[in-house]
Structure 1
Amino acid sequence: MTKSIFVTQPVLPHLADFIPYLEQIWDNKILTNCGPLHQQLEHELCEYLGVKYISLFNNGTIALITALQALGLEKGEVITTPYTFIATAHSIIWNNLTPVFVDIDILTSNIDPKKVEQAITDKTVAILPVHCYGLPCDVELLKDLADKHNIKLIYDAAHAFGVKHNRKSLLNYGDLSVISFHATKVFNTFEGGAIVSHSLEMKTKVDQLRNFGIVDEVTVSDVSLNGKLSEIHSALGLLQLKDIEQTLNARKVIDELYRELLRDVDGITCIKRTASDIDNYAYFPIVVEDSFPLSRDELFEKFKEHNIYARKYFYPIMTDFDIYKKYADHTPNAKWLSEHVLCLPMYPTLELEICQNITKIIKGL
Structure 2
Amino acid sequence: MSSSPVFVTRPVLPSLTDIMPFLERIWTSRVLSNNGPLLQQFEADLARYLGVEFLSIVCNASLGLVLALRHYGITGEVITSPFSFVATSHAIRWAGAEPVFADIDPHTLNLDPAAVEASITPRTQAIMAVHCYGIPCDTEGLAAVARRHGLRLIYDAAHAFGVRKNGHPLVAEGDLSVLSFHATKVFNSFEGGAIVSPDRETKLALDRLANYGIVDEVTVSEIGLNTKMSELHAAVGLALLPRIDEIIDARDHLANRYWQALSQVPGLHCLCPPGQPGQNSYMFPIRVGPEYPMSRDALHARLKEDGIFARRYFHPLISDLPMYRDLPSAAPENLPNARPAGEQILCLPLYPDLPEADQDRVIGIVSQPC
TM bucket, shorter chain: over 0.9
Question: Which residue of 336, 341, 358 corresponds with 1:337?
Answer: 341
CA shift in 2, pair 1:56/1:5, >3 Å: same
Residue equivalent to 1:25: 26
Match of 1:61 in 2: 62
- Residue equivalent to 1:95: 95
Would the aligned equivalents of 1:163 and 1:276 in 2 still touch at CA under 8 Å? no
After superposition, give the CA deviation of every residue in 1:201-222 in whole Å (9 maximum; x if it has no partner).
Answer: 0000000000111111111111
Please state how far the C-alpha of 1:194 moved relative to its aligned partner: 0.7
Instruction: State TM-score, norm by structure 2.
Output: 0.96
Which residue of the partner structure matches residue 244 of structure 1? Answer: 244
In structure 1, the residue matched to 2:230 is: 230
1:79 aligns with 2:79: yes
Matched, 1:13 2:14: yes
Instruction: State how far apart, in whole Å, the 1-side matches of 2:213 and 2:279 are.
Output: 36
Instruction: Say which SS state the counterpart of residue 243 (structure 1) adopts.
Output: helix
In structure 2, the gaps of 5 or more residues are: none
Contact residue 161 and residue 179 of structure 1 kept, 8 A: yes
Question: Which residue does the alignment assign to 1:352?
Answer: 356
Give yes or no for contact 1:103–1:332 (8 Å, CA) kept in 2: yes
Aligned equivalent of 1:206: 206
Cα distance in 2 for partners of 1:151, 1:261 equals 44
Tell me the CA shift for residue 274 of structure 1. 7.5
Deviation at 1:72, TM superposition (A): 2.3
Q: Which moved more, 1:346-355 or 1:269-278?
A: 269-278
CA distance in 2, matches of 1:293, 1:285: 18
Secondary structure (helix, strand or coil) at the match of 1:322 reads: coil
Query: How far, CA to CA, are the matches of 2:97 and 2:183 in structure 1?
Result: 29
| Structure 1 position 28, deviation (Å) | 0.5
- Structure 1: gaps (5+ residues): none
In the alignment, the residues of structure 2 paired with residue 57 and residue 208 of structure 1 have an alpha-carbon distance, to the nearest angstrom, of 12
Identity of aligned residues (%): 48
Deviation of the 1:199 alpha carbon: 0.6
Normalising to structure 1: TM-score of the pair?
A: 0.98
Among 358, 361, 364, the residue aligned to 2:365: 361
RMSD of the alignment, in Å? Answer: 1.2
Q: Does structure 1 residue 52 correspond to structure 2 residue 92? A: no
Whether contact under 8 Å (2:213, 2:225) holds in the other structure is yes
* Preserved contact between residue 135 and residue 273 of structure 1 (Cα < 8 Å): no
* Alpha-carbon distance in structure 2 between the residues aligned to 1:363 and 1:244: 31
Alignment: residue pair count: 364
How many angstroms apart in 2 are the aligned matches of 1:303 and 1:222?
A: 51
| Cα drift, residue 16 of structure 1 | 2.5
Aligned-partner residue type, residue 367 of structure 2? K
Q: Give the letter for the 2:259 counterpart.
A: R
1:216 aligns with 2:216: yes
C-alpha contact 2:160 2:179 (8 A) present in aligned 1: yes
User: In structure 1, the residue corresponding to 2:22 is in which secondary structure?
Assistant: helix
1:273 shift after superposition: 4.2
Q: Contact (CA 8 Å) 1:135, 1:276: kept in 2 or not?
A: no
Indicate if the aligned counterparts of 1:154 and 1:176 stay in contact, CA closer than 8 A: yes
The separation in 2 between residues aligned to 1:222 and 1:94, in whole angstroms, is 17
Q: Judge conservation of contact 2:259–2:273 (CA < 8 Å) in 1.
A: no
Tell me, yes or no, if the aligned pair for 1:136 and 1:276 is still in contact at 8 Å: no
- Counterpart Cα distance in 2 of 1:277 and 1:261: 21
d(CA) in 1 for partners of 2:297 and 2:232? 40
Partner of 1:310: 310
Q: What is the alpha-carbon distance in structure 2 between the residues aligned to residue 352 and residue 92 of structure 1? A: 40
Cα distance in 1, alignment partners of residues 363 and 124 from structure 2? 45
| Native 8 Å contact 2:56 2:207 kept in 1 | yes
**1:309-346 deviation line (CA, Å, top 9, x unaligned):** 00010111011100101221311211111111110001
Does the 8 A contact of 1:156 with 1:179 survive in 2? yes
Structure 1 counterpart of 2:44? 43
Quote the offset at 1:276 in angstroms.
Answer: 6.2
